[in-house]
Structure 1
Amino acid sequence: MSSPPASLPLTRASVEAAYELIKPYIHETPVLTNTTLSQLASTPRTPAELEGTEWAGQNPAKPVLRLWFKCENLQRIGAFKARGAFHAIERLKQEPGWEEGGGRLKGVVTHSSGNHAQALALAARTNNIPAHIVMPTISAPAKIAATKGYGANVVFSGSTSVEREAVTATVIAETGARLIPPYDHPNIILGQATASFELLSQLPPSTTLSGIITPLGGGGLLSGTALTCSSTSVKVFGAEPSFQGADDGRRGYLSGERIPAVSTLTIADGLRTPVGAIPWSIIYERRLVSGIYSVSEAQIRAALRLVYERMKLVVEPSAVVGLAVALYNEEFRAMVERQGGAQGWDLGIIFSGGNVSLEALGKLFSD
């Protein structure tokens, strides 16, 4: 399989360089607050709400939380993935000999079922570069249509990683296209890191975040956020679904060993991927992430409903997992109470995307 583009070192300085490089191609997404959600996050849960959970019988946590929402659901293609895709393409264009060797005509290739597929298709079209996207046949029809709509050549595969990678290898052999991985490459990580870099620059001068929490799937966004905050006092946390072992990042973090495979049908479909090796090296081996927490499907649905009803924003289930942790995970909430005290925390929450169909939303809320 062809090598991905060469990259800069994984440092905060490289994040800043990535941001300057992709600024012409991305939206500066807004940072919003919501008084109701901050109040809910700062309200102790009742003993009845804790009944049946691992915290039953414990005194409810009493954190003070002021929430700041980075709305990457309003990014191009509806997700933060546009940042990594544009950064990878820009670095590829800078490679010595790439143009001369016919790289632009050969194009790029990736395998993805959703947001990265659309992001790379858009970045490639913007630069007049062919894009070949390997998508599982079970991908959401709306995401397939959007990827084709950006001009990509969609090639279908089976749903397992082995099947996707085999088809990708065939496309590379036939076309000579360069591989742009979905998350497990420095250029992707540095691009995704620009979301939190931008967030920190948008806060009022009087506000200093104590922490940022992001969803955790393959780990590009979380590890990138950790790089952004590596020379600051801001703590970084990951959030995952617990359903059917989707919390591979949390379990690996606790055991000290990355879990290389996961099989889950969590409603947070963007987080069904195991943490990649390079993100893991930042998250765990470099100790740049302070903790990873998980929530149930019911808690994700509840957080999703709150965002729709209180913020009037279109977000996908994966996007609200961090909010669900702040609202419902007693371990996280107790940690904030201990460390924040009466003053509390200003907490950044990255809404990672908003690519969800009306039909899917109807099913989520039909119960």
Structure 2
Amino acid sequence: MSTGTAAESAMRGGTAVVDLRSDTVTRPTRAMREAMLAAPLGDDVFGDDPSVNALQERIAGLLGFEAALFVPTGTQGNLCALLAHCQRGDEYIVGQQQHCYRWEGGGAAVFGSVQPQPLEHQPDGSLALADIEAAIKPDDPHFARTRLLALENTLGGKVMQMAYLEQATALAQRRGLGRHLDGARLFNAAVAQAQAQGSGSDAFAQARRIASLFDSVSVCFSKGLGAPAGSALCGSRELVARARRVRKMAGGAMRQAGMLAAAASHALDAHVERLAQDHALARRLADGLAGIEGLQVEPPQTNIVFVDLTGPARQRSAALLDHLAQAGVLATGLYRLRFVTHLDVEQAGIDRAIDALRAFLRA
């Protein structure tokens, strides 16, 4: 399962580091770097970078939209979407744990005076339909104007089920709301969904199926797809035109961005179907930790594994990340650890992480 980057892994005390903090830590493969060097370039602010234009046309077509906008980060893609859908004094309905609410600095409120209406998640990561319905404000000057439902797929590695997405987006449409999907890991969801469907289903078809339920979708290229930077916001021509203005104000209009766009295009060619390998490694990690006293493992659906520390192990949690780092394994968390597999992780690294956790709990 070598990707051409394993040999370039960071070293700590002579040991290759297994970096499971996030799938954002990937480095471009040799083939991706060659594609970046070969990319024809122009000035994207003037709209004449051919590599950016080709990527935007491609991802829009793949997901069934009229247009797309290449942006530096997923955070900026979501910000452009929220401010393209909403005006000052509007609000969007969102989950408490969704990235565009919890982890993006409150950008819509800070830059756009757009109010979030956060809701609690159900155990499967969804927002209860009754909660969404109840959160929609009446047309009354006492309230912010409810304009948008924002969902995320995957959420913490959980795949939002199609039946739920259909019901939630139909509710939003019936109540006159726009529908935005934070699809930072959309292709992880699509690969898992295609595997569940069995033979005859492919990830691109499933990604388009999911995207068809939304007015806008943001997709990240720098997570599991392995590009060094970049996301795309897809939507109608009118929405993307509004988002382009927001991108300019936010400082996200780049010049010769074609090198980054070429990396993203290569990722679409080479790194989508292989996400199944990341999912398999996540399951291997979860299976290897299951049943160990002091650990409660949440079975992964895609490439993210959550492990809760219990009992005496919880009292020693502050020392665990240091222990793992000494063993050449990087993770995040305290009482709840998060491990994320990606294209720079191989089976040997997963086995080392399992061994390091076992050693800590035996000590």
TM-score (norm 2): 0.32
Greater Cα radius of gyration, structure 1 or 2: 2
Q: Name the structure where strand makes up a greater proportion of residues.
A: 2
Question: Looking at both structures, which has the greater relative contact order when contacts are Cα pairs under 8 Å and sequence separation is at least 6?
Answer: 2
